[in-house]
Amino acid sequence: MAKERFFLELEPSDAEMKRWPHVVIVGGGFAGLKAAHRLAGKPVRVTLVDKRNFNLFQPLLYQVASGLVSEADVATPLRQMLAKAANVQVLLGEVVDLDPTAREVVFNDRRLRYDSLILATGSGSTYFGHEEWRELAPPMKILEHADEIRRRLLSALEEAEQTPDPDRCRFLQSVVVVGGGPSGCELAGSINELMRHASRRDFRHLDPRVCRVVLVDPGDRVLRAMDPVLSKAAADYLGSRGVELVLGGRVQSIEAGRLTVAFKSPPPGAPAERVLEAATICWSAGVRASHLGRLLADRTGCAVDRGGRVVVEPDFSIAGHPEIRIVGDLCTYTHTIDGKPLPGMAGPAVQMGGWVALDLLAQLKGQRQPPFRWFDFGSMAVIGPLCAVADLRGLKFTGPLGWLLWGLAHLAFMPDNENRITLLTKWLWMIATNQSASLLITGRSDQHMGVEVGLERAERERDSLAEPAAA
């Protein structure tokens, strides 16, 4: 296996640069990109490795799924974002192994040595032991997932347009969203608006009154992480727009076009199970860390929690390996004032990545960085056109004002100015016309759901090689 040399070592623009320490960042999401930006132009050589060549603004994936915006509006090429940093290189590839002793990462059949390693590979979706549900109920973690949800949704409406059978038409115009967190509420609200407006405006034979969107969650309310007042406001709004809430039940089974929900304590006279039939089923109920966390645990013996997140020290390192830092959704950080782990959101990820980069630079100068302190800006979720709920450090907002604050926050976190402009333009167009901008059916049913997140592909290859030997 060939050893990969940092490209600046081949023809360095500055002889001094050859002696700079090498920082490898794995993952170009919120945390990894922030770390790279903080290290840009500093006396370190930086290699950013990602299996994709773009940074994805994941909080707006639901808008891609519901056709409000296009893929390019929420994704920006990493090379474009770091082009002005002479000390940073971007390499396309998936890290499949680590050698902490040699301080090397393995990807593309190459070994790349590091002085410091920042792992920021994020998270994927979990089906709680039922991976067979993945193809029947796509998650919403990467662009291909959002594309697939949109393809299934619009294809169902197209078929319903040509279906004379009213029962079949009702089935095709039904959607079930599993998970009542921010992603689930945002997806359910946007799909509901799309279906009702599209069936009224763009299709000649569809009845918008037949459209049905059901949101399923095992809790007693949606948005359980937010204040009950905001949860109620969100539930009331979704209900007023026609979204049906099925709370207090867990998914027992998913088949093609059919989902069964079981209730542990059903109301008197209510059945213990309920079957929901819908042409489109979406999953936003579970999150698990990238498989790189468990791989790191195998190689170093570090601790991981039940979700596969790496338990880190106050400086985001792991025991015995101060040169390895874990940030973003891949880590579980409990060194907070109240001892609660940092939430898996964009805000904490950005702050983690920025702090670790500054800490590495402080170490080069023989200095100590002040301890990490997370600044909690609050939480928010958009649930419909010009309607959102927001809790900003105890200040609660709902309706149009909540939506305005949500929009400003998301535009501020958007890392690319061009995307800020296009998003603002499309949002204003949607408000003025009630029209979605990107209602395209692309791809085939077999193109998206095989896309892997994390190291599933590498693990499956290892399992397939082991099976003949075991036999």
Question: Taking the CA of residue 381 as centre, how many other CA atoms within 13 Å lie in the half-sphere pointing to its CB?
Answer: 28
Rounded CA-CA distance 271/288 in Å is: 32
Question: Would you state the pLDDT for residue 286?
Answer: 84
Taking the CB of residue 385, how many other CB atoms lie within 10 A of it?
Answer: 18
Q: Could you tell me the pLDDT band of residue 324, with boundaries at 50, 70 and 90?
A: very high
Question: Which of 158-162, 285-289, 327-331, 417-421 has the least mean pLDDT?
Answer: 417-421
Question: Would you state the pLDDT for residue 206?
Answer: 92
117-138 confidence digits (pLDDT tens): 999 999 989 999 999 999 999 9
| Catalytic residue of the set 186, 255, 277, 323 | 186
Q: Answer for the pair 383, 186: CB distance below 8 angstroms, yes or no.
A: yes
How does the average pLDDT of the chain come out, rounded?
89
Q: Answer for the pair 47, 112: CB distance below 8 angstroms, yes or no.
A: yes
Question: Which of 302-316, 379-393, 404-418 has the least mean pLDDT?
Answer: 404-418
Question: Would you state the pLDDT for residue 10?
Answer: 47
pLDDT at residue 436 greater than cutoff 50 = yes
Q: Could you tell me the pLDDT band of residue 455, with boundaries at 50, 70 and 90?
A: very low
360-376 confidence digits (pLDDT tens): 999 999 999 999 999 98
Rounded CA-CA distance 148/184 in Å is: 16
Question: Would you state the pLDDT for residue 199?
Answer: 84
Question: Would you state the pLDDT for residue 423?
Answer: 86
pLDDT at residue 309 greater than cutoff 50 = yes
Strand partners, 97: 106
Q: For residue 115, which amino acid is it?
A: D
Ramachandran bin of 86, using left for φ above 0, alpha for ψ from -120 to 50, beta for the remaining angles? alpha
Question: Would you state the pLDDT for residue 14?
Answer: 61
168-200 confidence digits (pLDDT tens): 999 999 999 999 999 999 999 999 999 988 888
Active site residue 186: yes
- pTM here is 0.89
Question: Would you state the pLDDT for residue 452?
Answer: 47
Question: Would you state the pLDDT for residue 13?
Answer: 55
Compute the Cα dihedral for 324, 327, 330, 336 and give only its sign.
Answer: positive
Give the tokens for residue 232. 């109620």
Residues 6+ apart with CB under 8 A from 175: 153, 188, 191, 195, 212, 213, 214, 278, 279, 280, 281, 282
Rounded CA-CA distance 351/355 in Å is: 6
